[in-house]
Amino acid sequence: MAVRNLEQFCGKFHALLSAGPEISRLIAEGRILMGELVSRTEWFGDVLRKILFDREFSESQRPGIWPNEITLYRSLDRSFMILCYIWGPHESDVIHDHGSWGIIGSFMRPVGERKYRRMDDGRKEGYAELEESSSIILQPGETTHVLPLNKGIHKMENFGDDMAVTINIYGPNIRKGYVQFFSPERKSVSRIYPPRYLKEALAVRILGVMSAPWSEEILQRVQTSDLPDYIKKEGEISLSKLKSG
Ligand SMILES: [Fe+2]
């Protein structure tokens, strides 16, 4: 029987994942389930009620990179999470990658997706060359997917005069802590952190361009601290900038 609501979608997705499918099968079957979920709108009233009236639900929301993102479900075993994005008229995101696989369903209004291929080898810090590989319009009930890192560089856009909604499901991150934003015009790429890690990342970055007597000492301390690996990676970049600068 087709999925009729979020609870059934979660149940079926758990069952799909517990069979340990290959990624191609996971995406193909997951897209069918997502297509079923976003073809029905009845269940969405409960989501809106929760956003507006359920304090526990609103307090459980973590500030993320995208302000229009609402977390609908996190599986206890961390195998997937379901997010909702509410898009204003003519709103789009920035070209970005992902740390995990993901399936995106268009809900209520058409949304656009452009996919990009990375052309450089990624060795030059901050540099990226992209080529657009596809551009599609997803009608309500239709889905698209992304894969981790360079296999999932894309941009979503609500090109209409009305608001739009997408429902997204993502797997566990193989790269934690940040996403990358790309600018094809500037041929640049940058790591973007959610608010909870942004301050540490900014502190480490500024140390890389301040050749103060304490800059290197603080950056060395970052490397031996219990800060997350991605902040240490920022530290390495800042240290090499200091040394070359
Ligand atoms: Fe995305």
Q: What is the DSSP letter of 75?
A: -
What domains are there in the chain, each with its CATH number? 6-192 (2.60.120.10), 195-244 (no CATH)
- As a whole number, mean pLDDT of residues 198-217 equals 94
Whether 149 shows a pLDDT value over 90: the answer reads yes
Residue the block writes with tokens 């989501």: 47
How far apart (Å, rounded) are the C-alpha atoms in residues 77 and 134? 34
pTM: 0.92
Residue, of 99 and 196, whose pLDDT is higher = 99
Cα 99 to ligand 1 centroid, rounded to whole Å: 10
Whether 196 shows a pLDDT value over 90: the answer reads no
Q: Closest by alpha carbon to 34, among 79, 3, 65, 73? A: 3
Q: What is the pLDDT of residues 41-68, one digit of tens each?
A: 999 999 999 999 999 999 999 888 999 9
Cα 123 to ligand 1 centroid, rounded to whole Å: 23
Cα 97 to ligand 1 centroid, rounded to whole Å: 6
* H or E stretch at 49: helix 44-53
If DSSP codes are grouped into helix, strand and coil, which group holds residue 245? coil
Cα 103 to ligand 1 centroid, rounded to whole Å: 9
